[in-house]
């Protein structure tokens, strides 16, 4: 893939984007709830041409010694080579790990799930909640799409029955104890211009990035700066405000089901 870095950067300097969006405008966002029957919860999220699957699987296991009455959250992300010619020689492990950890902390640190309600017998048996992100098509801004997909899957997940000995995956009824719906908003700085929701091309030329996750009450639950340049303090202050604002809009989209099983 050949990206004309100069062109993208020159556009950005003029406050213009190759796809004609406004600096703080997202691409079209589509969310499908529960596209799959095997996982306890699942979602497909498209932001423009970026397509991400999230799946929730529940199992029963032993709690961590330092939190004996809490369920266990394990988030994982995979950059499947189907998603991009860049992943030809093996996906960039560093980026996949960072993505997984942002999704993990977005759920964990926001206390999105009441983990104590996932305890079965304190110190002995708790629900193990696996949140798996699977990237199908990479056109930039995988973080926002992944956090959206994970939150959507948490919303539609249903817990299988457990009789103390065996899990019955054929009967799923109870919803997860979801308290908050965290969403992430990612900004990119190209030269002196700042935009939201960077495409693949834009993220290739960005100087710095900033992802801010927020909760329903507008509180910030996670920040991650990326990229090889810095932000001024003033830029940070501005973007934190923008993120709270735009997070609200993203959260509203989570209630609607775009219902397309077409990537």
Q: Which is nearer to another protein, 120 or 236 (CB)?
A: 236
Q: Give the C-alpha separation, 257 to 263, whole Å.
A: 14
Q: Where are the beta strands (DSSP E) in 62-216?
A: 72-79, 119-121, 125-137, 158-162, 167-175, 183-190, 193-196, 208-214
Residue 63: CA count within 13 A, CB half-sphere: 20
Interface with another protein (CB under 8 A), residue from 11, 45, 73, 83: 83
- Considering only CA atoms, which of 19, 1, 43, 73 is closest in space to residue 254? 43
Closest C-alpha among 48, 56, 50 to residue 74: 56
How many residues bind another protein (CB under 8 A)? The answer is 66
How far is 59 from 61, CA to CA, in rounded Å? 7
- Pick the binder of another protein from 16, 24, 49, 125 (CB under 8 A): 49
Nearest-approach distance from CB 224 to another protein, in angstroms = 6
Binding segment toward another protein, per CB under 8 A, in 7-15, 144-152, 186-194, 236-244: 236-244
Q: Which two tokens stand for residue 196?
A: 């939201």
24 near another protein, rule: CB under 8 A: no
Is 171 near another protein (CB under 8 A)? no
Q: Footprint of another protein on this chain (CB under 8 A)?
A: 36-39, 42, 49, 51, 53, 55-57, 59, 76, 78, 80-85, 88-89, 93-94, 97-98, 100-101, 105, 108-111, 130, 132, 134, 136-139, 169, 210, 215, 218-233, 236-237, 240-241, 244, 262-263
């Amino acid at each position: 893939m050949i990206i004309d870095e100069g062109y993208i950067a020159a556009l950005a300097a003029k406050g213009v984007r190759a796809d004609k969006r406004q600096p703080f405008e997202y691409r079209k966002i589509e969310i499908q709830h529960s596209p799959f029957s095997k996982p306890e919860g699942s979602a497909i999220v498209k932001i423009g041409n970026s397509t991400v699957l999230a799946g929730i699987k529940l199992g029963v296991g032993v709690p961590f010694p330092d939190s004996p009455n809490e369920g266990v959250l394990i988030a994982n992300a995979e950059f499947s080579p189907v998603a991009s010619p860049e992943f030809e020689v093996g996906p960039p492990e560093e980026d996949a790990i960072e993505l997984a950890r942002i999704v993990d902390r977005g759920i964990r640190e926001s206390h999105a799930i009441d983990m104590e309600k996932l305890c079965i017998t304190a110190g002995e048996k708790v629900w193990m909640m696996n949140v798996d992100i699977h990237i199908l098509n990479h056109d930039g801004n995988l973080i926002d799409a992944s956090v959206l997909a994970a939150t959507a899957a948490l919303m539609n997940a249903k817990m299988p029955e457990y009789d103390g000995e065996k899990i019955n995956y054929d009967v799923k009824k109870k919803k997860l104890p979801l308290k908050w719906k965290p969403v992430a908003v990612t900004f990119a700085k190209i030269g002196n211009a700042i935009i939201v929701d960077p495409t693949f091309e834009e993220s290739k030329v960005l100087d710095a990035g900033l992802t801010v996750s927020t909760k329903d009450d507008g509180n910030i639950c996670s920040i991650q700066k990326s990229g090889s340049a810095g932000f001024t303090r003033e830029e940070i202050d501005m973007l934190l405000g923008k993120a709270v604002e735009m997070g609200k809009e993203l959260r509203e989209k989570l209630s609607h089901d775009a219902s397309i099983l077409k990537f």
